[in-house]
Structure 1
Amino acid sequence: MNAPNLPLRADTGALLDEVLALRAEVVAGAQPWMKRFMRDAGAPQPALANLAHYLAFRRHDHRSLQRQLMWRGISSLGRLESRVLPTLDAVIAALSALTGRASPITPPAEHDYFDGEARLRKATDALFGPPPAGRRERIMVTLPSAAAGDPDFILDLAQRGMDVARINCAHDDATAWRAMTGHIRKAGETVGRRITVLMDIAGPKIRTEAVLALDKKAKLAAGGALRLVAHGTPRVTADVPFAAAVSLPELVTRLSIGDRFRYDDGKLEGTVESTGEGEAVIRITRAKAHGIKLKPEKGINLPDTALGLSPLTAKDHDDLVTVAECADMLGYSFVSQAEDIDLLEGFLAEHCVNRPADFPLGLVAKIERPEAVKNLPDLIARAVSRRPFGVMIARGDLAAEIGFERLAEMQEEILWICEAAAVPAIWATQVLEGLVKTGIPSRGEMTDAAMAGRAECVMLNKGPAIGTAVDLLDGLLKRMDAHAFKKTPTLRALKSW
């Protein structure tokens, strides 16, 4: 070798040693996770092993290493979610070749390198059914109450590209849900593909009930005060001119001074200023410029408060029997820890025993609270061995819980964890919301919908222009599929120049 190349070879040899040490560290760091997952899932599973390796890998900052690999034309490790050890092994083999040393690690075969992607495809098909022609992602649509009496509406959505119909069990009743499900099955027969059904149980949603304002025309604004009452009629005073009862009164007694309060998906924020017998006063710290009208039936989020609530309510117990009868998937609201999976499984085993063996009920965990994010690996390990499983990034409640400024990074991290574990993810809440409601999308909505293509399913909410939104999303996702897969750009020919 020419003398000028000797320093480069030496530097590359040191880099090889660094990657070898990193691999050993990842394997060792994954062992506690592996033991933890095996307690939940029983026998080791390749997807959970890869998740354990990913969690160990992401404990440290690898940005300097990435740049050293990048300029040598070697994988920068930035796309290894589904294949942690295969990626490290491929990098080790490439660095060994550059240094002229025999690789101490056997490089992965092509099949082994891409096996994580195959696992994710299989899990996605098991949960949602086969993919539509020309599109990897599924499109989910939340049905309005009127769909129970309008089979043509559901057929139209299926013809436009709906793959999954979502029924929100917080609304309507078992009779309406059975009618909707019947229409969905017939629509699937007509279009020649199975349209699957997600039924989303309500869970312990905290909402305002009766509300009162000293001045009925007034709006809550920054600096104002709101009284929450646990029992009785809301009362207002000159210094606290707004008041509301809540759907779960015991929560008022669990509030502490300084706890954060968010109303209506974060449209208004405040902190607990004082507490008293069966009530608490909230000082508003942020709101829209001209304030917000206080209304009943609006959601409340309390991200700092230990709620101590079961994710299954008495209503959910009643609804689950119909869900098991009608649905392909169950949407589990407010799940926060692995024990919540056991709670649900115990109820299903006891009360929902007539499920056809060839169509197991899938489970979708809705990630809505900080505890669910923190416990996501354990939730996955507890659930994946029992039935088809997926995760919904419920961006409305999640943003209200963790803060809007953290939502973008958190949805990315959830996508990465799910990909590492071969768990399909649903990108939900306010996708193309302006288009669905008014027929005209915003520029930001279009970008958000395009980014949603990194999930396995994208959810649209109900609205007057939902058919147009399905059309647009179907075409957009098909085009974006040709440009990117997850975090990996794909080099489709460009035709603009």
Structure 2
Amino acid sequence: MSAAAQQLDRLQSEVDALLSTLADAEARWRPWTAPVDTENHCSAINLVHYWALRQADLRDLQERLTGFGLSSLGRSEAHVQATLQLVSAAIAAMRGHGWAPAEGPCVAVTQGTQLLQRNAVELLGPTAEDRAARIMVTLPSEAAADAALVATLVDAGMRIARINCAHDDPTAWKAMAANVRSAAAAAGRPCLVAMDLSGPKLRTGPLEPGPQVVRLRPTRNAHGQVVAAARGWLTSAKRPGRPPEPGLITLPVDPEWLARRTEGDELVLRDTRGSKRRLLLAAAAPGGFVVTTEKTTYVGTGTVVKATGGKDTTEVGELPAVEQAIRLAAGDVVRVTRDCSPAPVDDDRAPRIGCTLPEVFDNAEVGERIFFDDGKIGGEVIDVAADSIDVRIDHPPHGTAKLRSGKGINVPDTDLPISALTDKDLADLAMVVELADFVQFSFVREPADVIRLFDELDRLGDHDLGVVLKIETRQAFEHLPQLLLTAMRRRRIGVMIARGDLAVETGYERMAELQEETLWLCEAAHLPVIWATQVLEQLATTGRPSRAEISDAAMAERAECVMLNKGPYIADAVVTLDDILGRMAGHEYKKSPLLRSLHSWRGAAQINPG
């Protein structure tokens, strides 16, 4: 027997052995797959098959299959059994036994993609003409009153509007949803509403507020010369107008006094430092004036503003308090307390800050890790008392970092015996059922969480609302196959890769690996994925993207939906993401490159070698 024939015999044996493991896996996972929705049954079986396939290291087998021009199994996620059967049949044919592929795979090769696309449309709505990935946008609070803002986002390409139930209230949510429905109808294109349950709030408590002061600061060059005047928005204190430019500092004043002003007027004031400053009403806009100054100006609540001539005066209305922060460096000890009353910032004693989740104090242990603000600050628990935890900071290792109120806390080593559904979530679910096309389930960790959510939805009489599991904890990732199979008891199901918390919980160095594994498992289950956290974040907040986030946005095309967070330049971010996803859709589907013509080679066709 030739060496090639021996190799083919060995390949036949190994591939057939893999096929036999699929049946064993079905028997092992039958308690999980039995209750799934009828429409999801074959998808659940395929997920189990994929789990079984990936229990072995297949790299050597892949290389040997490729050597014979056979499938390396690297794109078998959506149709595991069918792929193995076809490879086995191809090997048998090469060995001279004829072409006789086995019949009856639960999911044929051509069906896997179709099932995923069907499920994505049912949950997330139809795709755009030039791409498969939809764009989801987190609505800011302003979207409740500003219908034009929502219409702008829909026109730019938003296909799903996300309402975060951790912010605002039911009245605002109703207004947001109504504005989305109206904008979609006016544009003649679909835009769904997703509502995100808050989940257990593990966040830093409040700090004492700072002064109610804003700063207008001009832009200067390296020589200290002003190259661009500072700009602000002078508007009514009773009915503030929308700033005509993103990022303008709002100065509320008496509306009657404002009505007497005209473009070109000059205002005089003493700022909070006592310095005399002048503001020019540079441009009128609906609801107020854009004001400019070429000197740094600190304006506080109650600052007296005089019109030209000094007789017609007003006071600046209520301004937001300056957000305070605790400065921490490596080696510092911060006390995290059960008491969530506003903590002082300038205190001679060790810094302290509250924690919104009492269960942390009953379950944390010395030596466990704790992270703040998406992992920007981290340390180790060095002491635990009934009402406090002392944390020695070790990250960042150099310099200082600012810890503010309302920032997320992650305790990846601490086992918290809490439900993913809080009392607030249970109260909010009635409104979610009324307003949303699907709900996003925050901080899910184990199958019992999913079952409880389904029970609550059934209690409310809802059996059709779509459900998206947010994978953002270490426990959720570790239980992912079980979570997916449990969720598939309901018809319309999806997954969000919440990369922010997940990276903190599992380590940033593992994020890419976990992200890929989640995509593969969801493709095996034919479930759509939402790619979330920090997508084009710099563009949305500053107006200019980083090179790295452009590449990240291009990679996001492998998901069925991509989520953007709010920011002053969010409409620009939607337009940019729409363009990136449209371009990449012609080059790649999931892990498969699509061989459209390369633009970089077009010039080569014109070259005459002679």
TM-score by length of 1: 0.93
One-letter identity of the residue aligned with 1:437: T
Is 2:571 aligned against 1:492? no
Question: 1:428 corresponds to which residue?
Answer: 532
What are the Cα deviations for residues 407-447 of structure 1, in whole angstroms up to 9, with x where unaligned?
11001111111000011110000001111111111111011
The aligned counterpart of 2:232 is none
SS of the residue corresponding to residue 219 of structure 1 reads: strand
The aligned counterpart of 1:19 is 15
Larger radius of gyration: 2
Amino acid at match of 1:314: D
Partner of 1:463: 567
1:368 aligns with 2:472: yes
Q: CA separation in 2, counterparts of 1:220 and 1:277? A: 24
C-alpha contact 1:31 1:52 (8 A) present in aligned 2: no
Deviations 1:162-218 (A, max 9, x none): 110000111111111111111111111112122101000111120111348xxx986
Aligned residues: 486
Shift of 1:105: 4.2
**1:442 partner amino acid:** S
Shift in Å, 1:104? 6.5
Which residue is equivalent to 1:331? 440
Q: What fraction of aligned residue pairs are identical, expressed as a percent?
A: 44
| 1:231 Cα offset (Å) | 3.2
Q: Which residue of 2 aligns with 1:57?
A: 53
> Is the aligned partner of 1:122 residue 2:118?
yes
Comparing 426-435 and 273-282, the one that deviates more: 273-282
Counterpart code for 2:334: L
1:479 corresponds to which residue?
A: 583
Is 2:328 the counterpart of 1:220? yes
**What is the distance in 1 between the residues matched to 2:155 and 2:103?**
46
SS at match of 1:252: helix
For 2:449, which of 313, 317, 340 is the aligned residue?
340
Please tell me whether the aligned partners of residues 16 and 88 of structure 2 are also in contact (alpha carbons under 8 angstroms). Answer: yes
Aligned counterpart for 2:196 among listed residues 197, 200, 205? 200
Whether 1:454 and 2:558 are equivalent positions in the alignment is yes
Superposition pairs of residues 27-106 of structure 1, within 5 angstroms: 27-39=23-35, 45-102=41-98, 105-106=101-102
Find out whether 1:252 has 2:361 as its counterpart: yes
The residue type paired with residue 199 of structure 1 is M
Tell me the equivalent position of 1:142.
138
Residues 1:58 and 1:239: Cα distance change in structure 2 (over 3 Å): farther
1:107 to partner: Cα distance: 6.9
CA distance in 2 between partners of 1:232 and 1:176 (Å): 26
What is the letter of the counterpart of residue 324 of structure 1? V
Tell me how far apart the structure 2 counterparts of residues 325 and 428 of structure 1 sit (CA, whole Å).
25
Q: CA deviation at 1:57?
A: 0.5
Query: Would you say the 8 A contact 1:253–1:279 is kept in 2?
Result: no
Structure 1 residue 294: deviation in Å?
A: 2.3
* Cα distance in 2 between the residues matched to 1:103 and 1:21: 19
Provide the rounded CA distance (Å) in 1 between the counterparts of 2:101 and 2:491: 36
Tell me which residue corresponds to 2:547: 443
Structure with greater strand share of residues: 2
Give yes or no for the alignment of 1:261 onto 2:370.
Answer: yes
CA-CA distance at 1:318 after TM superposition: 1.9
- Which range moves more in the overlay, 242-251 or 378-387? 378-387
Counterpart for residue 408 of structure 1: 512
Higher mean alpha-carbon deviation, 218-227 vs 446-455, is at 218-227
SS of equivalent to 1:181? helix
SS of the aligned residue for 2:404 comes to coil
Report the Cα offset of residue 40 of structure 1. Answer: 5.5
How far apart, CA to CA, are the structure 1 residues paired with 2:364 and 2:345?
A: 19
2:327 is paired with a residue whose SS is coil
Q: SS at 1:95's partner residue?
A: helix
Secondary structure of 1:186 counterpart: helix
CA distance in 2, matches of 1:305, 1:165: 34
Conserved in 2, the CA contact under 8 Å of 1:37 and 1:378? no
Partners of 2:557 and 2:502 in 1: CA distance: 20
CA contact (8 A) 2:410 2:504 kept: yes
CA 1:24/1:198 → structure 2, altered by over 3 Å: closer, same or farther? same
State how 1:173-188 maps to structure 2 within 5 Å.
Answer: 173-188=169-184
1:288–1:482 CA distance, 2 compared to 1 (3 A): farther
Q: Is the 8 A contact 1:228 1:252 kept in 2?
A: no
- Pick aligned residue for 1:290 from 380, 399, 402: 399
1:313 matched to 2:422? The reply is: yes
* Displacement after TM superposition at 1:346 (Å): 2.0
Task: Please tell me whether the aligned partners of residues 174 and 435 of structure 2 are also in contact (alpha carbons under 8 angstroms).
Answer: yes
Contact 1:329 1:362 in 2 (8 A): yes
Secondary structure of residue in 2 paired with 1:210: coil
TM-superposition CA deviations, 1:86-112 (whole Å, max 9, x none): 111111122122221245642789x92
| Amino acid in structure 1 at the alignment position of 2:474 | P
Distance 1:319 1:474 in 2: 32
User: How far apart, CA to CA, are the structure 2 residues paired with 1:155 and 1:429?
Assistant: 23
Contact persistence 1:93–1:107 (CA under 8 A): no
Q: Within 5 Å, give how 1:1-16 maps onto structure 2.
A: 6-16=2-12
Which deviates further from its counterpart, 232-241 or 303-312?
Answer: 232-241
- Which stretch of the first structure deviates more once superposed, 283-292 or 168-177? 283-292
Distance 1:178 1:330 in 2: 15
Query: Residue type matched to 1:229 in 2?
Result: T
Aligned residue for 2:402, secondary structure, equals: coil
State the partner residue of 1:397: 501
Residue 90 of structure 1 contacts residue 108 of structure 1 at CA under 8 Å; is this kept in 2? no
Note closer, same or farther for the CA distance 1:43–1:34 as it changes in structure 2 (3 Å cut).
farther
Which AA in structure 2 matches 1:224?
D
CA distance in 1 between partners of 2:347 and 2:140 (Å) = 41
Contact 1:268-1:288 at 8 Å conserved across structures: no
Q: What is the RMSD computed on CA atoms of the aligned residues?
A: 2.4
The answer to whether residue 166 in structure 2 is matched with residue 166 in structure 1 is no
Q: Residue 114 of structure 1: SS of its match in structure 2?
A: helix
Once residues 44 and 364 of structure 1 are traced to their aligned partners in structure 2, the CA distance between those partners, rounded to angstroms, is 15
Report if aligned partners of 1:89, 1:108 keep a CA contact under 8 Å in 2.
Answer: no
**Contact 2:125 2:192 survives alignment (8 Å):** yes
**What amino acid is aligned across from residue 363 of structure 1 in structure 2?**
V
TM-superposed deviation, 1:263: 0.2
| 1:236–1:200 CA distance, 2 compared to 1 (3 A) | closer
Instruction: Tell me if structure 1 keeps the 8 A contact 2:123–2:494.
Output: yes
Aligned partners of 2:61 and 2:5: how far apart in 1? Answer: 16
SS of equivalent to 2:434: helix
Q: SS of the counterpart of 2:468?
A: strand
Say whether the 8 Å CA contact 1:207–1:246 is kept in structure 2: yes
Per-residue CA distance 1:329-384 (angstroms, 9 max, x = gap): 1111111111111211222222x33x6x8xx3111111111111122222222222
Q: CA 1:314–1:375 in 2, change beyond 3 Å: closer, same or farther?
A: same
Query: In the alignment, what sits opposite 2:338?
Result: 230
For residues 282-323 of structure 1, the C-alpha deviation after alignment (integer angstroms, 9 at most, x for no partner) is 111211642212221111000011111111222212211111
Cα displacement (A) at 1:474: 0.9
| Alignment deviations for residues 24-68 of structure 1 (CA, whole Å, 9 cap, x no partner) | 123323421233321565898100000000000000100000000
